[in-house]
A and B are shown apart, each in its own frame.
Chain A
């Protein structure tokens, strides 16, 4: 039976006492892609990662990793996954090299291979110079990289990264992004959680938006943005052309058009910005108005997220 998904979670429910951390989450992650799990603090991201990586038993539901049932064959799953948890879990008193070699031994890899792989990773992650220093001397970014390295020792098929860049400075964050992108080109399937929309936007092919233990939206970043349907076309014209422009555009586009007299700005809300902006240009051209500015604004993922969570909170 060929399995289609690197990760396949079906209706996962997890209760901690009376807290419903996960309230029926289903997720399908493609092979060789980055799947983003986006959500605010407390939305259930870590809980889901822990269930998918065999650390927690779900109250209900089922997870398959590379077609293997996590609940039934946890050790089989552990052999093909890597996990870098929310906090860089490296021992202060071990050196970077010792950390990686210890993990290699716990995967029961041959000694030679452990040495080779550790060197390789230390080099890839830019930790060669610090390899034989105790990690208590490492910076936050170095600890993160080492922690990521530890999750890569056995060359996992499926990699779980729980907020890999939280608390890092922008430069180090970009560094981690490029490491993650590099892993994807090598064929690793990655599930990554984040609170940062631009991170999901930059890395994830498909994303799931989680709020209060439920998936409230899913899709590519593009499809999430367009599902909001609030592209905005803005036109700035001369003061005396405002009324004429508004009249013509209203007629031809059959849309409400708002005017801001002070800034001489017309705003058109549309579902299909890229097509409509051409229409607007054509209409203005026909009535011989040369706009000073003509622009299209697409919602950022932040806008999408705000509107999604606002709706939910409203309904709740």
Chain B
């Protein structure tokens, strides 16, 4: 039993390390996953900054950066499915499934490695945000807690994406399909604009869907001024754990039954 869990941890670690090497040795991957949120941050800040939020751009960065972090979490999670589909097609998954390893290790290794990439991209976007005028005003402890929430949230969506990757099996299809489910979640949320500015039929969805919870929680912790902010922290944690509880077992089941 002890031996089994030692092996499980070791397997997951070895495979996470493999995927971290992939994430960091294939430069295109890192460049594009970093460039995309930076471009969004710049575009929304300068082009829409004044109009969108009805505030000056200097203040909008405080609103926008937490949103962009949630966006990184979701866009980044698409890569979990893309990477799995790639491994499936190259026969790497066949090789791994022929080894005496813990069933969940391939998927856990992948999702952890994608978290490592998220840490990097989020650190980078924070620096860019600071250059654009963002300041950590609520103290480092709260900011750090906010980042942990984003990472937990991203981790949970990696498991959603893992299912999609094994279901669609073709990495390009997974990439394109990713935008289909990620765009509505990102845009119909408080990422870029306050939910109150949306048409009322959309507000119900936007206010209650998970992305808004994590964005508001991060705003509350990192920036402040969010009424009832605690509530969003709990909601983020509950959503994340709930998503993992549903999608991780589904993904592992799917992995075992790959044909």
Contact = CB atoms under 8 A, between A and B. Distances in A.
Interface string B68-110: 0000000000000000000000111011111111000000000
Contacts of B26: 92-93
B98 A83 contact: yes
Contacts of A94: 18, 21
Interface of A: 16, 50, 53-56, 75-76, 78-79, 81-83, 85-89, 91-94, 98, 102-103, 105-108, 134, 150-151
Given A53-B98, A105-B14, A106-B11, A89 B259 contact: no
B149 to A, nearest CB: 31
Nearest to A153: B99
Given A91-B18, A93-B25, A106-B14, A54 B91 contact: no
Contacts of B17: 102
13 contacts: A16-B259, A83-B95, A83-B98, A87-B90, A87-B91, A92-B26, A93-B21, A94-B18, A106-B11, A108-B10, A134-B25, A150-B95, A151-B95
B7 interface: yes
Range, interface on chain B:
20 to 34
B1 to A, nearest CB: 15
A44 to B, nearest CB: 14
A160 to B, nearest CB: 8
A116 B15 CA distance: 21
Given A87-B90, A102-B14, A107 B99 contact: yes
A105 B90 CA distance: 21
Question: Which 9 pairs show the lowest CB-CB distances between chains A and B?
Answer: A89-B91, A78-B100, A83-B98, A93-B25, A87-B91, A85-B91, A89-B95, A105-B14, A75-B100
Contacts of B18: 91, 94, 102
B253 interface: no
B59 interface: no
A228 B99 CA distance: 41
